[in-house]
Amino acid sequence: MTIRLAVFDCDGTLSDGQAGVVNAMEAAFAEVGEPLPHRVQVRRIVGLSLPQAIRQLAPDLPEESQMAVVQAYKHAFRQSRENGSLREPLFEGMKDLLHRLHAGGWTLGVATGKSDRGLTSTLATHGLSDLFATTHTADRHPSKPHPSMLEAAMADVLAEPNTTCMIGDTVFDVQMAHAAGVRAIGVSWGYHEPDELLAAGAVAVANDMAELERLIDG
């Protein structure tokens, strides 16, 4: 039996978590007394594991200070989730698309720079948990673009690279797909520009859910 596996990134692909990320980053840098990088810079690191993201945003900070920002970010993000101020809406049409893919025989997975706790909460909030047969996060793997998350997802469900696709909004997703030998499909509604995704090797970039469905079914 051939397993068709579609693996999705989360932030910027499934859900729009931009405000939550930027707000938590602002709080984290303020807590350690460092100036916040520009919001454009913050947007561009979404998808990386948190330690690697901070290293890119503040490369001149001593490692101890970088780790302090990491911990402050985790605290701020967790606090926003607990007090109900965090908003991570699904992109319009995404829930219906996932249900159609699942009903059509696709095995679904997630590979994300979020934490296990964050991903579990996001999927549960939107009633998606039961749709995904395999989920992998930065808590258990090297940061994207290392292929570890995709390789583990394929191993979980016994899928082969030639019947697997990775759907994401950043160059990191595309590079991870190539490193794992799977097809990379970009989406235009996330954090990196379509021309960047194509230049990195995405086979195409979807502008809406109908186009994304056609590309996945490829």
Angle separating helix axes 116-125 and 63-82, nearest 10 degrees: 20
Q: Choose which CATH entry (3.40.50.1000, 3.40.50.850, 3.40.50.300, 2.40.30.10) describes domain 5-16+88-217.
A: 3.40.50.1000
Calpha distance 164→144 (Å, rounded): 17
Catalytic site residues?
Answer: 9, 11
CATH of the domain spanning 18-82: 1.10.150
What's the confidence (pLDDT) of residue 22?
Answer: 84
Structure confidence at residue 43 (pLDDT): 82
* Residue 35 pLDDT: 86
All structural domains of the chain with their residue ranges: 5-16+88-217, 18-82
DSSP assignment, residue 5?
Answer: E
Q: What are phi and psi of 127, to 5 degrees?
A: 65, 35
Is residue 177 within 8 Å of residue 184, measured between CB atoms?
A: yes
Question: What's the confidence (pLDDT) of residue 156?
Answer: 98
- Cα–Cα distance measured from residue 104 to residue 167, given in angstroms and rounded to the nearest whole number: 17
Per residue in 9-56, pLDDT (tens digit) is: 999 999 988 878 888 888 899 988 988 888 888 888 888 889 999 999
**Regions of the chain short of the pLDDT cut 70:** none
Specify the pLDDT at position 144: 96
What's the whole-model pTM score?
A: 0.86
